[in-house]
Amino acid sequence: MITGDGAYIKKINRGLILSKIIEHKAVSRADLSKITGLNKATISVQVADLLNDHLIYETQQEHNVVGRRPILLSINRSAGYVLGIDLDYKYIQYTVSDLGGHPVDFHAVELETENYHDILKILIDQIKAYQEKWSASTYGLISVTIGIHGTVNNDERINFVPTYQWQNIGLKEDLNKELDIEISIQNNANLSAYAERVYQYHESNNLLCIMLFSGIGVGIMIDRKLHKGFHGYAGEMGHMIIRQDGDACNCGNRGCWELYSSEKSLLKKLKKHLHRTPLSYDDIRQLIEEQDPTTLEILEEYIIDLSTGLNNIINMYNPETLVLTSEILKMYPDVIEKIKSNLKSTVSEYGSLALSELGKKSCSMGACALAIQRFLEVPEVVLTLENTVVKK
């Protein structure tokens, strides 16, 4: 049983009311009372406070029925903004979102360096630029959440990033020395799983998101909550060994799954066998459309290796929703059915298997969504996107 003083109960009620206003987009005080189970007096006091804090605003619904038009409450999306950053290998993606979870600014840059201090300076300069750009709003740029393609402990300190070979890095502390803003460091796959749950799969309580880009990471949602493990390192399934005498991995082992099923490994193999460097996503799309035999053969082998790892994960977690995040898989016709045909184990059970619609933006968007939840202090957020947001 949860107990607490009046201030604690008020905080819980405030979070519940805010979360329902976000979810329903526009809702009356009377409907809020019905939805939350809170009495009208409590709703009235809380709404007054939220209006005074400029977090919500009132509008009147237009209708042709005789009588007073109901006053609706909506989240004040422009009251403040949050910044989500996806720090990948030689690539940084920035997404700024309003308080309704709608991206309002998107920017991606390729890096010419692997040096930590050079990248740190790039991050500091860009964050300062965003702080200046969004300073005119009521709360300005509220916070920054950064997704790391490696292990991050529960104190938000970077343990290891295989692609950069960074170990025991205090990125949060280094940023705080130069910036006056709340900083959070999270694992990229966790943020992507959070984005899928918040933006796409609202009803899924147990969701796994498999990121297949520079490496492989798995974000795990169990009973609607991120599962991070004892130290915070859960989900590093890219380093699950699928070949005992396989290739050497940066982690120190051999035969890791990501050496055979990440997009990085697939691109490397395609370049080698096609004798084509560079090889872009557009090139691969064209090769698939032209039914190039070498490309199709490599993709079929890739799907078998990918399915091997998926079988293991499904056996471990019995997920309700399994989301694959890959730009190349989205190009390949009937790929979900091809993968399903390889998931033949009689003990492997899952609810649904799908390709991510958020794609490469899932990490930075999940970072924004988590920042919104924390700022508004709501139990959970349910957000939606216009179709144009996730298009390239």
For 292-321, give the DSSP string: -HHHHHHHHHHHHHHHHHHHHHHHHH--SE
Pairing of strands 158-161, 166-169: antiparallel
Res 250: pLDDT: 82
How many CB atoms are closer than 10 A to CB 86?
26
The Cα–Cα gap between 262 and 269 comes to: 11
Q: Which CATH class is domain 79-193+361-390?
A: alpha beta
In this prediction, residue 67 carries a pLDDT of 60
Q: Domain spanning 6-75: which CATH class is it, in words?
A: mainly alpha
Fold agreement (6-75, 79-193+361-390): no
What does each C-alpha distance from 194 to 106, 119, 159, 369 come to in angstroms?
A: 19, 26, 21, 8
pLDDT at 390: 42
Q: Decide: 219 and 194 in contact? Cβ < 8 Å.
A: yes
Given this model, what pLDDT does residue 4 score?
57
pLDDT of residue 62: 65
Of 204, 223, 229, 239, nearest to 323 by C-alpha is 204
Residue-level pLDDT at 389:
45
Grouped pLDDT means (10 residues each) for the chain, 392 residues = 72 95 94 95 96 94 65 96 96 97 96 96 98 97 97 96 93 98 97 97 95 93 94 92 91 93 96 94 97 97 96 94 97 96 85 95 97 95 70 38
CA distances from 70 to 36, 66, 73, 265, 268 (A): 18, 12, 10, 57, 60
Domain spans, the chain: 6-75, 79-193+361-390, 208-357
Give the per-residue pLDDT at 65: 59
> How is domain 208-357 classified at the CATH fold level?
Nucleotidyltransferase; domain 5 (3.30.420)
Question: Within 10 Å of residue 224's Cβ, how many Cβ atoms?
Answer: 13
**Predicted pLDDT at 1:** 43
pLDDT for the residue numbered 69: 75
